[in-house]
Amino acid sequence: MKELLKQYAAYNTWASQRILELILALPEEKQGAELPSSFNSLQKTVLHMWDAESIWWQRMKMQERFVRPSENFMGAMPDVANGLLQQSRQWEEWVNTASDLSLDHVFQYYNSKKEPVKLHIYQMLLHVFNHGTYHRGQLINMLRQSGVEKLTQTDFVFFLKNKK
């Protein structure tokens, strides 16, 4: 299990970095332009991804009050990209040093409806990495809508092939 999680953590960082490079190459107005999606701009989607990774990190660390990066955020796309990548690297470092016991640990948190939920750490990690994959797919679609024709390949198998 740990080897798989290490690969997913590294993949999560790698895939986000590839897409963020495309987004950062766009003019600022395209980075913030409204597009149909769950979050209506490239920047808002990446900010959501950073929020989610950060909140799960804080849940795992059993913090009582979450600090969402989006709260009072006034930065630009490079700030959002750096924040997400720093958080993703933090996950990667944690997974690389985690013991099997830590990965199997069950923790409890309260969801947005204030209901208690219990998860194994490894289940939460799979959710975090899967969530990133979902939104990276949306970002690719949004980049297409923004006129980007040369898109990056971010499939997990491509990551594995190029990792060697």
Per the prediction, the chain carries an average pLDDT of 94
**What confidence tens digit (pLDDT) does each residue in 17-44 have?**
999 999 999 999 999 999 988 899 999 9
Three-class DSSP labels, the chain: CHHHHHHHHHHHHHHHHHHHHHHHCCCHHHHCCCCCCCCCCHHHHHHHHHHHHHHHHHHHCCCCCCCCCCCCCCCCHHHHHHHHHHHHHHHHHHHHHCCHHHHHCEEEEECCCCCEEEEEHHHHHHHHHHHHHHHHHHHHHHHHHCCCCCCCCCCHHHHHHHHC
| Contact by Cβ (8 Å): 26, 146 | yes
pTM of the model: 0.94
Report the share of the chain in percent with pLDDT over 90.
Answer: 87
Domain enclosing residue 136, as ranges: 2-163
Q: Is the pLDDT of residue 164 over 80?
A: no
Q: Is the pLDDT of residue 111 over 80?
A: yes
Report the sign of the C-alpha dihedral through residues 82, 88, 91, 96, in that order: negative
| CATH number, residue 55 | 1.20.120.450
Q: Is the pLDDT of residue 101 over 90?
A: yes
**What confidence tens digit (pLDDT) does each residue in 124-136 have?**
999 999 999 999 9
| CA-closest candidate to residue 60, choices 105, 16, 126 | 105
- The number of domains in the chain is 1
Rounded CA gap, 10 and 96, in Å? 9
End-to-end Cα, the chain, rounded Å: 20
